[in-house]
Amino acid sequence: MLTCLRLMPLSLLGASLFWLSTETACAKPPSLIQMKTEETVFVGKSIAHNADVSWMMDQSGMLSEVALKKVTSFRRVASEFQKLPLNKIKQQLQNEFGPLYEIISTRHYVICAPRGKAKAYGGVFEDLYESFSHYFALRGYQVKAPEFLMVAVIFPDQSQFFDYCKKDGVRAGQGLLGYYHPHTNRTALFDLAAATAQEDSDHNETGLIYSRISADGKDMAEALRDTMIHEATHQVAFNTGLHTRIGENPRWVVEGLATTFESDELRSHTGGSTNSLSRINRNRLIWFVNYSRTRREKASLRNFIRSDALFRSSTLDAYAEAWALTFFLVETQPARYSRYLKSISERDPLQEYSADAREDDFKKAFKTNIRTLEVDYLKFVDQLTAELVQQN
């Protein structure tokens, strides 16, 4: 019996891998499968796997990483994976958050918010989605439709938001105003009205990769609104195929796109003006100019592309450079930038994304020497700065 118990996980692992490989090779829709471990039960479809792990997506769009050596049973539940019906998603959210919240759906979202406020938030999220899609369509890239409705949860106050952060494994702090989590596929924020009654004692951004904007001298309501746009951009980008929800995404790519869409002018003028100045993120530009003139090392773009280190050592400088580089690329090489995003998102998400591979992908996409591109990039920023000064 001890021998059988030792062999059983190995045979289950082999059966699981054989089944997953067969599912991957078939053109037909994936099956709905169940994997059990001693701790939990996973029901959904496998979206990526190797000999060690399977990433499972459940019927609401949430992701879980399953260690195959821990699987104790495996079976097919249904011949075809199907999403949960909208009424069941709403009921799950209602059960999770309780009667003080209302749950509404829009074309692309399910909004969970304090009663009487969900519709207004839904409008903001839908406007962002339309601006995002239109922006890329004008530049020759049709983003794919999200597979699932995207969930946004708005809490009535900061305290309840922080409680939810802890459940989500996100470190809460006064500088954290909201975040998008690629595994739950939810954006979480707290209510704008509540923000106006609070003092923001921490004016530094957190180091969390998918979290927030700090107040940076703005009042809390304005900072929280910017956070909502920033995190909603993350959510749309991860759900429309521009980023992958598992595996490594260069952080400058993820944050660069989100900071680009912080600009109200860019979202409201998605293609009409040929003047780049009309689409800048003014706060990020001003910060980057100060950084580049006082602290930025010469010829540092190559390291920035290869590594996320600057985000850990100097977060605000990294965000500013992510914005500046992204804005330069989308304004001067939009087709290549779109292809670059596509190439990154189509990588094997379970393979390490080395510094050399990051650099190679960048050079291949933009067909240039990085030092040459850096010269052009900094000249572009200098020209924007000169135009901004002249305008003022």
Provide the CB-side half-sphere exposure for 149 (13 A, CA): 24
pLDDT at res. 173: 82
**303 neighbors 289 (Cβ within 8 angstroms):** no
pLDDT at res. 209: 35
**Cα distance between residue 238 and residue 277, in whole Å:** 27
Q: In Å, how far from its chain's centre is CA 148?
A: 15
Question: Does residue 8 carry a pLDDT above 60?
Answer: no
Burial of 62-80, coded b for 16+ CB within 10 Å and e otherwise, reads bbbebebebbeebeeeeee
Which residues lie across from 150 on neighbouring strands? 109
Using the structure block, give the residue that is written with the tokens 């901004």. 388
pLDDT at res. 17: 53
**Cα distance between residue 157 and residue 312, in whole Å:** 29
What's the mean per-residue pLDDT of the chain? 86
Residue-wise pLDDT for 231-251, tens only, equals: 999 999 999 989 999 989 999
Sheet holding 73-78, edge to edge: 63-67, 53-57, 41-49, 32-36, 73-78
Instruction: Return the minimum-mean-pLDDT range out of 128-132, 264-268, 328-332.
Output: 264-268
Please provide the DSSP assignment of 148-209 as one string: SPEEEEEESSHHHHHHHHHHHT----TT--EEEETTTTEEEEE-HHHHTTS-----S----T
Q: Which two tokens stand for residue 271?
A: 């293609």
Using the structure block, give the residue that is written with the tokens 């918010």. 113
Question: Does residue 210 carry a pLDDT above 70?
Answer: no
What domains can be seen in the chain, in order of their start residue?
Answer: 23-82 (2.30.30.520), 86-242 (3.40.30.160), 252-391 (no CATH)
**114 neighbors 193 (Cβ within 8 angstroms):** no
**94 neighbors 101 (Cβ within 8 angstroms):** yes
pLDDT at res. 330: 93
Where does the chain have alpha helices with state H?
2-25, 86-97, 118-138, 158-168, 192-195, 220-239, 251-260, 264-268, 282-294, 301-306, 309-313, 315-332, 334-345, 355-366, 370-391
Residue 225 has a CB neighbour count (10 Å cut-off) of 20
Residue-wise pLDDT for 33-81, tens only, equals: 999 999 999 999 999 999 999 999 999 999 999 999 999 999 999 999 9
**Cα distance between residue 55 and residue 341, in whole Å:** 22
**Cα distance between residue 49 and residue 52, in whole Å:** 7
Residue-wise pLDDT for 149-206, tens only, equals: 999 999 999 999 999 999 999 998 878 899 999 999 999 999 876 655 544 333 333 3
